């Protein structure tokens, strides 16, 4: 007889808000209406908001200025990044005492596989173990977590939303779905609530008369396949019945390393914007080397004054790691974006991906893939008689050795100890930035 899997998803409740209150008990700690993400008047976005602020319509990723229009009495504070990282590690350490496999899904979410621990915990119900984990996390960190449980990651993910003790919900922080009860549990949700059912698929399903999970459960798998195709139809038929074979792995492969800045004022001077691109390249390439990675794909993102996000991407023939190579690959992408729409920008970002530790590193075409949640803008091939496409950066062993020597200097004397000359011009200043 096969034993049912025992999967938990642990979600720290209003994590950034809770940590901000711990860091500043006399300020943020006493503010019921609290927004974390930036100071009033900043160009940042909401990272998290207290439940009281959410009642006013404040949501994550909303500009701070709009959030304060909705909730003018709220207190706004920056993200306490160091404290958040520390608390995240502390929570994961507690979870490791209970579960043989713990996977961090984000800074405030962890999947736990308790397979094989039934006898260890006296064959108690999964919910009872979850309550003990919840208490242990609170005793160790002073933070509350919500825990969803079931036979798969999908069920645990959906169950944790039911577990969260939101005002008026009556929930106690734990909700576990018993084996065999997956389909009945999911029937309460809309299809759009399921992970990986995006807006386009949800719209397509709505046109088929399918808006809730219960609607889709009434369709046999063959009918879904005939309307959606073999792959999508089979996937959805399994999904709405709670079938999910994905495993909990101790470490998910890094997908990308990125840095972006929101500026205190919109930038319209191309020379200044390219200087900020250089600043980002220094930081993101350092992040890359710190993780002992090299990348082949470079993506540049801009967010225009009207909040329109645009990206351009380029896949190189070889891997790079130095800030010089990152800039050389990124600059033509930025110029392409600026040439297409030369309007003031409020945000600039660089992402590096397709790493040399990825098993899928066979040569690829320079595909223009979407990152940052926006559709990428392809870099068009030059027309006949136009200037040739920019050459790939050539990165020699000497370049890499020099870059790593600079890293050692910065590690010892600070990030600003040695910088490209363009970044130490006192006349060029774009004002405070919100790092994202």
- Positions marked active-site: 109
Report d(CA 423, CA 426) in Å as an integer. 8
Helices (H), 182-322: 182-186, 199-207, 213-217, 221-228, 230-239, 270-290
The DSSP bridge pattern shows strands 145-150 and 174-176 to be parallel
Report residue 174 CA to chain centroid gap: 24
Q: Name every residue whose Cβ is closer than 8 Å to that of residue 363 and which is 6 or more positions away in sequence.
A: 317
Phi then psi dihedrals of residue 378, to 5 deg: -70, 150
Report d(CA 87, CA 83) in Å as an integer. 6
Burial of 171 (0-12, 13-18, 19+ CB in 10 A): middle
Total count of residues recorded for the chain: 436
Instruction: Map tokens 């949501």 to a residue.
Output: 59
DSSP string for 301-367: EEEETT--EEEEEEEEEEEE-SHHHHHHHHHHHHHHHHHH----EEEEEEEEEEETT-S--S-----
- Among 103, 198, 116, CA closest to 153: 103
Contact (Cβ atoms closer than 8 angstroms) between residue 152 and residue 246: yes
Report d(CA 224, CA 216) in Å as an integer. 8
CA of 135: how far to CAs of 129, 143, 156, 176, in Å?
A: 10, 10, 19, 16
Burial of 366 (0-12, 13-18, 19+ CB in 10 A): middle
Report d(CA 104, CA 133) in Å as an integer. 16
Report d(CA 321, CA 39) in Å as an integer. 34
Neighbours of 167 (CB within 10 A): 9
Residue 233 structure tokens? 């139809």
Report d(CA 135, CA 117) in Å as an integer. 19
């Amino acid at each position: 007889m096969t034993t049912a899997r025992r999967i938990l998803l642990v979600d720290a409740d209003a994590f950034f808000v809770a940590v901000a209150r711990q860091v500043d008990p006399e300020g943020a700690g006493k503010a019921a209406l609290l927004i974390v993400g930036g100071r009033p008047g900043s160009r940042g976005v909401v990272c998290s908001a207290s439940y009281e602020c959410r009642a006013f319509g404040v949501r994550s990723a909303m500009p701070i200025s709009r959030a304060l229009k909705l909730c003018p009495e709220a207190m706004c504070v920056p993200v306490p990044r160091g404290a958040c990282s520390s608390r995240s590690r502390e929570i994961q350490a507690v979870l490791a005492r209970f579960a043989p496999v713990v996977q961090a899904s984000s800074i405030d979410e962890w999947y736990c596989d308790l397979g094989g621990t039934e006898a260890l915990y006296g064959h108690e119900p999964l919910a009872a173990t979850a309550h003990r984990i919840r208490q242990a996390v609170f005793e160790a960190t002073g933070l509350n977590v919500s825990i969803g449980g079931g036979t798969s990651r999908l069920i645990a993910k959906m169950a944790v939303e039911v577990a969260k003790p939101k005002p008026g919900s009556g929930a106690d922080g734990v909700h576990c779905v018993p084996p065999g009860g997956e389909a009945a549990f999911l029937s309460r949700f809309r299809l759009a609530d399921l992970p990986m059912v995006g807006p386009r698929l949800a719209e397509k399903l709505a046109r088929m008369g399918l808006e809730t999970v219960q609607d889709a459960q009434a369709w046999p798998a063959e009918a879904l396949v005939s309307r959606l195709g073999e792959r999508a139809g089979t996937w959805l038929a399994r999904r709405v019945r709670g079938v999910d074979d994905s495993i909990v792995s101790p470490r998910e492969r890094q997908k990308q390393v990125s840095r972006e800045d929101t500026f205190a004022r919109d930038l319209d001077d191309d020379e200044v914007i390219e200087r900020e691109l250089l600043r980002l390249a220094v930081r993101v390439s350092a992040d890359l080397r710190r993780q002992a990675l090299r990348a082949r794909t470079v993506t540049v993102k801009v967010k225009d004054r009207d909040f329109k996000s645009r990206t351009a991407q380029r896949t190189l023939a070889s891997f790079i790691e130095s800030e010089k190579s990152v800039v050389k690959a990124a600059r033509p992408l930025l110029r392409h974006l600026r040439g297409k729409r030369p309007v003031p920008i409020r945000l600039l970002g660089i992402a590096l991906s397709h790493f040399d530790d990825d098993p899928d590193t066979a040569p690829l075409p320079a595909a223009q893939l979407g990152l940052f949640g926006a559709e990428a803008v392809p870099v068009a091939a030059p027309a006949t008689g136009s200037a040739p496409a920019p050459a790939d950066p050539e990165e020699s062993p000497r370049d890499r050795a020099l870059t790593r020597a600079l890293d050692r200097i910065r590690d010892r004397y600070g990030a600003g100890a040695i910088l490209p000359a363009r970044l130490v011009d006192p006349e060029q200043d774009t004002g405070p930035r919100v790092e994202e």
